[in-house]
Structure 1
Amino acid sequence: MRFSFTIFALCTGELICDYGENCDRLCESAVCDYFWNVEYRYSNSWMTDDYQFGGGAFYRSFPVFWNETSSRIEIQELDTGYTQDVFIDDIKGKNGSAKRPEDHLDELFFIDGQSNRRVITVNGEFPGPKIKVKKGSLMRITVRNNLQLEGITLHWHGLHMLDNYWNDGAAFVSQCPISSGIEFTYVVRADNSGTHWWHAHSGIARLDGLFGPLVVLESDEIKNKITSIPITMGDWYESDSISYAANEPFRIKMNMYPGNGRSTCSPDHTPFYSGLLVTGFCLDSFVVNGHGQLRLQQDPRKALFSIGERFLIPMSANSFQLRMINTGFEMFSAVTRLDGQRFNVTASDGRDLEPMTGDVLILGVAETYDINLNLSQDQKSVFLRFWLPFDHIGEASRKPAHQPFVDIEFKRDASVLEGEFKTEFFMRKPDEPIFQISPKNVSATEPVWINCPAPKNGVVCRTVSDFKRLESSDYKFESERKEESINTPATVSPLDEPDVILRIHVNFMSGAGINGIHFKYPTAPLFNGTDSAQKTKCTKEELEGAGGFCTQILTANVGDLVELRLSNLEARDNRRTYHSIHLHGYEFFLMATGYANYEDGRIIGRNEHISCGNLTRCPFVNYNEEVLKCQHEDRTSFIAKNTILVPPQGYAIVRFR
């Protein structure tokens, strides 16, 4: 066991977890040390200590399955390997008696019930460790890469990275990947409070589960005994990242080199929302905190066996908080209460909002939201449904389809202390009935959907522009390091002239690209400016609309008021879809949004204030400057975000200094 360590004369820190240990404990020290072991695991397995040979434990992983005939978990029969001729009744506990997997559900690794899915874990966990630290703490995370096939990097999504971009985790941009068998220590300060997360930023390893929550607490939040539960949620796929990379559909000329991965589907089998494509992926499953249950699209009553998770909260709790993160790869997620009651949305991307009451909350990919839920005095528990919201499968279809979901219970329990929570696991069997959402709603005749990406029939739609910043929390913008506090609500007025305007236009003109350019990684990280990108930098012609495959670099000076014009416009209707955009190591303030035109809940055209001009492939868009000016002048409250779901066939205007 390692109790402390020192890096280059830095002070000794508090050890939160060693390799292989749980890391969930709150750290209030000046320096917090974490040791993470990154390795592969496979779904539908049982990792346990087996004492069947006597003496010490033999630690191994058994492939297991649910035997419907015997109604028990059993070991798969294999012809070779260390599980050959090993049966479930052979596994022994320390006292020599038979060890039942049903009594050790926390050791089972089922995810959604699909077997042999390769998953990347940290210290054996999926999702990875839940970091919880006090604002101002310095985190030192030593990562040991035990993956045989790939290098990795980790990005600290939402944290400010003042003079620390080399720890930001963008592979080939701010650092080289951590090679197999190598250790690397990230040194990151928790300067800004709120709900954040960390995730892989090398290739598409995030698709394989390399992510986890990162919660930074103010001093008063630590003192207040409020139950606060981090929740990760998102789409989940049968194909792993390596299979997907073999069949990635959005690279230039990639259709000439089809791979073998089961990743993308024909338009007749892909999900749509308000007439817009949500993802080109085959629709598989949905997981919350690493747990889900695959149901067949053809017949949702048929499901796979999996392990469920419920949360226990204090008996005295009249309310509790969820810190929710959409860790999904492709699709936005949604949450609602099953009892027909409402909740309050109180924060997004770590920044406090004036509470907004609603029935459904949409989370774009990589966004975080906090919600508060109230319980009546006699209410023993509440169920929430987390799901993938889409209208139909196939562009021309209007027939509803099964939306993958997970129902989770939050239950009062006398063993839970004030301000804390516990988890317990249970078996989700294939024949369990599906909960129905209560039609009861005491507040309104139409449900309120918050953070709507597009209008929807029969609901009151609140968009991201309807949020207001909670100005009484503006003190949180002041960092413990005052030089970081240049980017505050007081310095980014919508009435000021920006020093520089940068246009970021996303579409599929040249594969998945920005301003018509598919990004090419530089030959070396940009430690010393942009010199290392000279070999791969875009030409003048490529930057002016020709498009291509190169390293596109946008620049601004320190202290500049920067306006980012984020647009999402396709020249071809069959490519119209949703895009999330995240600003690394910083945050921006939302000035304006523009949405497409919809009729009867389906898109009929682009926003009338932007256009592709006479450029048929649409590498850039033109704006109606008078409309933007009016939107800026009308903006009385602007919220801070680091990630935004850009309206399809529309735009979002943000600023930062």
Structure 2
Amino acid sequence: MPLTSFLPFLYISVLFTYSPAFGFEHNVKPHCPPDKEVCEFDWVVDYVETMIYYEDGGAGHPIVVRNGSLYQRSSCNTYIPIDISKDSEKAIFADGSYKLIYGINGHYPGPSVVVYEGQQVVVNLKNNLLMEGLTIHWHGMVQWHTPWMDGVGTVSHCPINPGETFQYRFLADPPGTHWYHSHLGTERTDGLSGALIVLPKPEKLENLRDDLPELSGDFVMVVTDWKLDASIETKSEADWGLNPFSYGFNETKCYSITLDATGGAVGLFPFESALINGRGNHYLNKDNPEQPDIPELPTETFVVNRYGYYRFRVINTGMLFAFRISVDKHDIQIISVDGNDVVMTSAESVIVHGGERVDFIILASEDIANYWVRAQSIEDTNSEGPVVQDTALAVLRYNGSREVQPKTHRYECRPKDPCRVVNCPFGQYPDSYSITCVAASELKSTSAQIKAHPVPIASSPLEFQEIFLNFHFSYGNTYVLVMFFLKVNKIYPKQENTTTSCESLNCTDHCKCTYIVKLEKDKTVQIVFLNMDDAPFGMPHPIHMHGHHFHVLKTGFPHYNSTTGEILDRNRDIKCSTKSCNGASWRNEEWNFGNVPGLNLENPPQKDTIAVPRNGYVVVRLKADNPGYLILSIK
């Protein structure tokens, strides 16, 4: 049966049961053999609490710290020691705090979906929650002919209500590192997310690229910021302007927003902790990560053999913070972004924003020992002066080394040997940092990638559509949400007047409306993503496009003070008709119809999520060949 013949909304009545099981499998293992046409998963979404030891039958016991050791408290006065080597699969330790979250089959992160390109993925999802609806968005899947399976609540389909079961069914395409998450409310950052890995068909491997060594291992690395409060509470308090009281409404000390090296906002609320594959810790002494608050908690550990090559698939599923990823004493070789192959690029570290994925390879050629894998925030200062970057840690353990915490340090960037940092959200760090920034647009697609997905070129202006979209922070506004669709028959909401169109308003600057962009089918579409703000807390932020992977042709940065790194002026390639840059256009009219200088039309990288620099822009291009109602959103 062809995939296009499936009903767009398929609710089925099936009884699923599960017992809590918490071990996250970070090794990439396909769920089905490559010759199987349909790969099926049964999921139950239910509540689960961190730092609770769950028995096989579902009963739980709190995990507590006593005299420097972890115990499960099975009764008021009974404490049973936790053996991390045996019991770590019985609980979600997170950062050592107790927090009620959503789990999929009892897992956090959710179970990894590892399938082969072209397989039909079937997920039977039962909502066991008491009062929350949910949807699952398959981030990175283009959903050819199945836009109703994109999983955006109230856009792709109605939320799955408590007690209901819904069947997702779609083709695994394109191959690469992707992820899934709830696309309703704030559920994504309270547990409902996981890795989605689409492996190339075995017969295609030989023709994909010849620059990759034979791998000894393939790891998933899910990184996220983590807060004790529920995400809806954090989001609501930020909306109400309560950020200064983030330390507590009755606390004397107030919180000061942290800034990046250019003066853009990073921490709109305090960084509490971060997790790697569901494990982390608190560090009251940020200067000494060897002294976590709860040293007894397990740390995510990747075991390697010396002289082996290992692939890391990094996914940032977090709410706010970008992370600079590095491995002590090891260079990283970036090979893929958002599931799309790029020419191997060497770096000291790579910055991964919310929603982005980056694959890199390391060669385990150092001494047999333990090394820190770091996910570091890009915070730099606040109103009181410089701040120490917050960090999540994992361990790279060479086989044969002792099971102890590493004593290593990250590479020190020096003027004569600067650090190369890929995917910078700004054009440069201050000169004193000795960091060379590489923008995402400077990466190059491999020859096989660009052959399979060439840059669309319009043969006449009639086949070309250019759109300027300004996603930005502004006084009294947090962000802009854009819906776009291709004009085709039979794919449209049935209801009328479900939105207030921005076109119907005489909007001079700020309006509350749904901005709907109509793409004309099969045209070459060039979108200029802007981030021109009029707020003191503006920041670079990632934008995700559903239903397409676009070519990243150019990044336009603002003007910086090379000594301090601070932004002096917004990029002047763009002409803004209002203070918040509505009605943007090219300042030089000769740049219209795709005639922008500096576009890489030969081998640009492809992505589905791109961080737009503050007071700058990114030019992307795609072919409007995937009809449906889809959205653009800030992750």
| TM-score exceeds 0.5 | yes
Q: Work out the CA distance in 2 between the residues paired with 1:129 and 1:508.
A: 34
Deviation at 1:389?
Answer: 2.7
Instruction: Name the structure 2 match of 1:268.
Output: 256
Which residue among 28, 33, 37 is the counterpart of 2:40? 33
Judge conservation of contact 2:373–2:396 (CA < 8 Å) in 1: no
Match in the other structure for 2:438: 462
Residue of structure 1 in register with 2:341 after alignment: 352
Contact 1:565 1:654 (C-alpha < 8 Å) held by counterparts = yes
2:595 aligned counterpart, secondary structure: helix
Q: Could you tell me how far apart the structure 1 residues matched to 2:245 and 2:326 are?
A: 38
Match of 2:55 among 48, 55, 63: 48
Work out the number of aligned pairs and report it.
Answer: 575
| 8 Å Cα contact 1:174/1:527 also seen in 2 | no
Deviation of 1:570 (Å): 0.8
Q: Distance in 2 between matches of 1:317 and 1:590?
A: 35
Asked if 2 retains the 8 angstrom alpha-carbon contact of 1:322 and 1:371, the reply is yes
Among 303, 311, 323, which residue is 1:333 paired with?
Answer: 323
1:196 to 178, 201, 207: 178
Q: Residues 440 and 646 (structure 1 numbering): CA distance in 2 closer, same or farther, change over 3 Å?
A: closer
Cα distance change of structure 1 residues 541 and 575 upon mapping to structure 2, 3 Å threshold: farther
Q: What is the letter of the counterpart of residue 612 of structure 1?
A: C
Partner of 1:295: 283
Partner residue in 2 for 1:499 = 464
1:302 Cα deviation from its structure 2 partner: 5.2
Q: CA deviation at 1:281?
A: 2.0
Q: CA deviation at 1:397?
A: 4.0
- Correspondence for 2:630: none
SS at match of 2:148: helix
CA shift at 1:175, angstroms? 0.8
Return the match for 2:399 from 408, 412, 418: 412
Q: In structure 2, what is the Cα distance between the partners aligned to 1:411 and 1:26?
A: 27
**Correspondence 1:583 to 2:572:** no
SS of structure 2 residue aligned to 1:105: helix
Look up the match of 1:304: 294
How many angstroms does 1:619 deviate by? 3.2
Matched-pair contact (CA < 8 Å) for 2:374–2:393:
yes
Counterpart residue type for residue 559 of structure 1: D
Q: Does the residue aligned with 2:517 lie in a helix, a strand or coil?
A: coil
Using the size of structure 2 for normalisation, the TM-score is 0.82
1:437 maps to 410
d(CA) in 2 for partners of 1:345 and 1:496? 36
In 1: Cα distance, 2:399 partner to 2:385 partner: 41
For residue 244 of structure 1, what is the aligned residue in structure 2? 234
- Residue 166 of structure 1 is matched in structure 2 by 148
Tell me the amino acid that sits aligned with residue 530 of structure 2. Answer: S
Following the alignment from structure 2 to structure 1, what is the Cα–Cα distance between the partners of residues 508 and 546? Answer: 26
What secondary structure is seen at the aligned counterpart in 2 of 1:638? coil
- Cα deviation per residue 1:540-581 (whole Å; 9 max; x = unaligned)? 353744533333211112211111110001123x13112111
The 8 Å contact of residues 492 and 561 in structure 1, kept in 2 or not, is answered as yes
Paired with 1:172 and 1:261, the residues of 2 have a C-alpha distance of: 35
- Counterpart residue type for residue 289 of structure 1: N
Of residues 595, 609, 624 in structure 2, which corresponds to 1:643? 609
Tell me if the contact between 1:495 and 1:633 (Cα under 8 Å) persists in the aligned partners.
no
Spell out, residue by residue over 1:230-250, the C-alpha distance to the aligned partner (whole angstroms, 9 max, x if none).
11112111221232244241x
Summarize the Cα distance change of 1:579–1:495 in structure 2 as closer, same or farther, 3 Å threshold.
Answer: farther
CA contact (8 A) 1:391 1:398 kept: no
Q: Deviations over 1:37-73 (max 9, x none)?
A: 1112112111124xxxxxxxx5411111111x2x322
Tell me whether 1:451 sits opposite 2:423 in the alignment: yes
Q: Deviations over 1:524-549 (max 9, x none)?
A: xx985145251422253537445333
What is the SS of the residue equivalent to 2:495? Answer: helix
Q: Quick one: which of 49, 60, 70 aligns to 1:73? A: 70
* SS class of match (2:110): coil
> Which residue pairs with 1:419 in the alignment?
none
Q: Distance in 1 between matches of 2:82 and 2:385?
A: 51
The residue that corresponds to 2:160 in the other structure is 178
Could you give the per-residue CA deviations for residues 345-396 of structure 1, whole angstroms, max 9, x where no partner exists? 01111111011111011112111111011122x74356243223324342x4
Deviation at 1:270, TM superposition (A): 3.2
Distance 1:610 1:554 in 2: 20
Report the AA paired with residue 503 of structure 1.
F
Q: Distance in 2 between matches of 1:146 and 1:113?
A: 26
Structure 1 distance, partners of 2:306, 2:517, is 53
| Distance in 2 between residues matched to 1:133 and 1:504, nearest whole Å | 35
Q: Percent identity?
A: 22
Give the distance between the partners of 2:316 and 2:572, measured in 1 at CA: 30
Q: 1:446 to 1:618 in 2, by over 3 A?
A: same
TM-superposed CA distance for 1:87, in Å, is 1.4
Match for residue 483 of structure 1?
Answer: none
Larger mean CA deviation between 598-607 and 536-545 belongs to 536-545
1:559 aligns with 2:497: no
Q: Which residue identity does 1:458 align to in structure 2?
A: S
Which residue in 1 is equivalent to 2:89? 106
CA distance in 2, matches of 1:512, 1:563: 25
Q: 1:520·1:549 contact (CA, 8 Å) conserved in 2?
A: no
Q: What amino acid maps onto 1:604 in structure 2? A: L
Partner of 2:79: 88
TM-score by length of 1: 0.79
The answer on 1:403 being equivalent to 2:385 is no
Distance 1:444 1:385, change over 3 A: farther
Q: Distance in 2 between matches of 1:544 and 1:494?
A: 34
Q: Is 1:597 aligned to 2:559, yes or no?
A: yes
Contact kept? 1:391, 1:400, Cα under 8 Å? yes
Contact between 1:152 and 1:177, CA under 8 Å: does it hold in 2?
yes
TM-superposed CA distance for 1:74, in Å, is: 2.7
- CA distance in 1: counterparts of 2:605 and 2:495, whole angstroms: 36
Q: Map Cα deviations across residues 325-353 of structure 1 (whole Å, 9 max, x no partner).
A: 111111111111211x3121011111110
Q: Show the counterpart of 1:538.
A: 501
Q: Which is worse superposed, 619-628 or 230-239?
A: 619-628
Looking at structure 2, the residues matched to 362 and 554 of structure 1 have their Cα atoms a distance apart, in angstroms, of 30
- Paired residue secondary structure (1:166): helix
User: What SS does structure 1 have at the residue aligned with 2:519?
Assistant: coil
1:609 aligns to 2:573 (yes or no): yes
| Equivalent residue in structure 1 for 2:478, among 496, 504, 512 | 512
Runs of 5+ consecutive residues of structure 2 not aligned to the other structure: 1-5, 8-15, 207-213, 624-635
Contact 1:505–1:567 at 8 Å: present in 2 too?
yes
Supply the AA of the counterpart residue of 1:151.
Answer: G
Distance 1:202 1:596, change over 3 A: same
How far has the Cα of 1:633 moved from its partner?
Answer: 5.3
Q: Which amino acid aligns with 1:219?
A: K
Query: Quick one: which amino acid aligns to residue 31 of structure 2?
Result: L
| Matched-pair contact (CA < 8 Å) for 2:267–2:379 | no
Question: Cα 1:171–1:65, aligned 2, differ >3 Å: closer, same or farther?
Answer: same
**Which residue of 2 is the match for residue 392 of structure 1?**
380
Q: Is the 8 A contact 1:19 1:35 kept in 2?
A: no
Instruction: Tell me the alpha carbon deviations over residues 73-118 of structure 1, each in whole angstroms, 9 at most, x when there is no partner.
Output: 2345xxxxxx6535124xxxxxxxx98567412213211112x212
Provide the C-alpha distance between the structure 1 equivalents of 2:235 and 2:357, rounded to a whole number of angstroms.
27
8 Å CA contact 1:144, 1:183 repeated in 2 = yes
Matched, 1:547 2:510: yes
SS of equivalent residue, structure 2 residue 551: strand
Corresponding residue SS for 1:140: strand
1:564, 1:407 → 2: CA distance? 38
The residue type paired with residue 491 of structure 1 is: P
